[in-house]
Structure 1
Amino acid sequence: MASIDTMLGLIGKLESPYITVHQERCALVRNRHADCLRCAESCASGCISYDGEALSVSPEKCIGCGTCATVCPTCALEAHHPGDAALVAAAHTSRTANAGAALIGCGALLERARGRYDEERVVRVECLGRVDESLLAELAAEGADEVVLIHGDCPRCEHRRGRDAAEAVVDTAAKLLDIWGSPMTVRFSGKLPAFARKAADHDAGRRAVLTEGVSFAARAGAIVAERAVEDALGVGAEDAAREEPPRCVKVMGDGTLPHFLPDRRERLLDALAALGEPADVMVDTRLWGHVVIDTDRCASCQMCAVFCPTAALTKFADGDGTFGVEHRPSDCVKCRSCEAICPADAIEISEEVFAVDLMGGVTDRYAMRPRAVQHDTPHTIWHTARTMMKTDQVYER
């Protein structure tokens, strides 16, 4: 796996008016022993790729489809073409205009139909890979009857990986809607419905587009200015304002790296809560995992809690000397960092989570045992923990 410095350089290249990069959230930046490559596996344009040995980024290939942001479990990549708020607003406008049916179409198909469909009725995204479960759940919570994802010739499209991501999202959404008792359906269609044909007045539809355009232009200008400073001074804009900029963000007072629960996850849980109580069944989706720790094998290093990006795993220490980690399934984004970095191979991620646990904020507690430290042994837990804490910190952009 590439070094942290290399990862920082690669991921930083993705920053553009289309994508904001939050490097401190990236599992690979937080810990080089993590193995998440979902952005590369799903990138629809070849901008991010992995050949089995090296990860590479070609910014000029980015089409702003946002598929990488959809599949990133920690939301280290944030899409702006459109942004989440603008996408939600446009989808709600579409649902209202179509009397309960939200239409979302891929850019390739809608470009061919330019001028012949009502922009108020159809939400345009560069690729359907931009759609995520939180958007679909919010539409369901508002009473939408159906969501139609309108696509072009996906098998022949050079960006067909985006369709794979969209299908995974639709599969997950279908399970959630069924468990939460929502009647809303989500389906793909290769054609625009007849009622979406262009009407005479499009002012309302253009209003949302103009709002997003203003935000997009402002962001583009800021990025251009920042890069001009870099070109002139050979450093980042923030670094130029400081004599000795910090190289990394230190661990927090509790000995863990900073945490961030994606807004998308919170919106999804809020939407599901609005739908009511779920069936008392297991949920098996791409979104959540249930951390299971073999306490007999556990080395008690608590590194899983140190590097957990969302604080789904946290440390605890009771007054009686009991210590260990707690796991909250609702906050787990299934990045699998804990599983990958555990020095004792004591962690396994269960694919299934109880639906009721997601809404109730249930927490599992794993008590750990003090372990003897043998400094003369090169592969002791002390050596492993010390090495990981020293080398795997969150670097600033």
Structure 2
Amino acid sequence: MTTAFVGADIFDGETRRSGLALVVEGERVAALLPEAELGPDMGVERLDGGLLAPGFVDIQVNGGGGVLFNDAPSVEGIRAITAAHARFGSTALLPTVITDRPAVTFAAIRAAEEALAQEVPGCLGIHVEGPFLSVARKGAHDPALIRRMEAADLQALCETRVRPLLLTVAPESVSDEQIAALAAAGIRVSLGHTDTSCERAAAAFAAGASCVTHLFNAMSQLGNREPGLVGAALDSPDVWCGFIPDGHHVHPAALGAALRAKRGSCRMIAVTDAMPTVGSDADVFELNGRTARRENGRLTLADGTLAGSDLSMIGALRYLAGPLGLPLEEALRLCSTHAAAFLGLSATNGRLGAGSRADMVWLDAALDLKGVWIGGERVRQ
């Protein structure tokens, strides 16, 4: 079936364009062309103004719709999480399993593999965050489950078939040789939950680590004599940085400085680090046997430690284009185009053009979602 979407401006991932129709054939975009060139028999969906943009791509989603991936490492769990976030414009995401027992971690990986085989809408692969982290920067991860990577772990991870697979590790628990082997196996290695030095982080990047997980949070900070992981990431133009734009995890001045520092390479990615509360009325959930609560938009453990976020990607976009003051086009790229590029999926995701997936969001002037499509199918909101 071929449908032409008309009546809204189109952001194609690079620029905002007016007066064009977006032609969708099945799951893909066939063309962007002037409305006058549409054939007389073509189906038309007329939109009432606003902006059509690429669907959001989120590389760090722990849960949603009342479901925590660690507690439901199954296709059904992934389906519930992707469906919850689709209502907020995330048309593609990496379900994220945090530090846990090996049985849970590898059940989650197998679930992601099966979800991809079943073409579960919105599932791109998997993000494994831990357990090879640093207790000193554990954040909300259970310190009893954090450990060093052993040879058997490396072999098992390299033998997985899910790609993209994003793996967050700390240099304290994973050697440069192991990072190189993981990268050679097609796994994207990210540094996070680490107290590493700037020099040690630079060595991990040279070995094959290509990203930093939630910049500024749970990592060594930028100092004048020891720049830490923050300094190493900002000083490395080829390194991608995920960040949580919710107004709680990172001060806007720090985030603004990081965005300016990385502006030349544009390797910044908005993530939600979302927990089960997104798309759910429940304000309380369990995290490795500990209680986390939602209050005033923050999720915390009993000791006040931030426990992921209550952020959706439409919320991230509003924060970036609102309080942070970014141009809308830049904010949209941070929420979609950059993540797709990092995952090597620019041909299909994060843009609207011939051959791309028809994953789209329709926004009004207030940045309210008026429609979401995954593979050309409209999502019920």
Structure in which a larger fraction of residues adopt strand: 2
Q: Common fold, TM-score beyond 0.5? A: no
Per the normalisation by structure 1, the TM-score is 0.29
Structure in which a larger fraction of residues adopt helix: 1
Per the normalisation by structure 2, the TM-score is 0.30
Q: Which has the larger radius of gyration?
A: 1
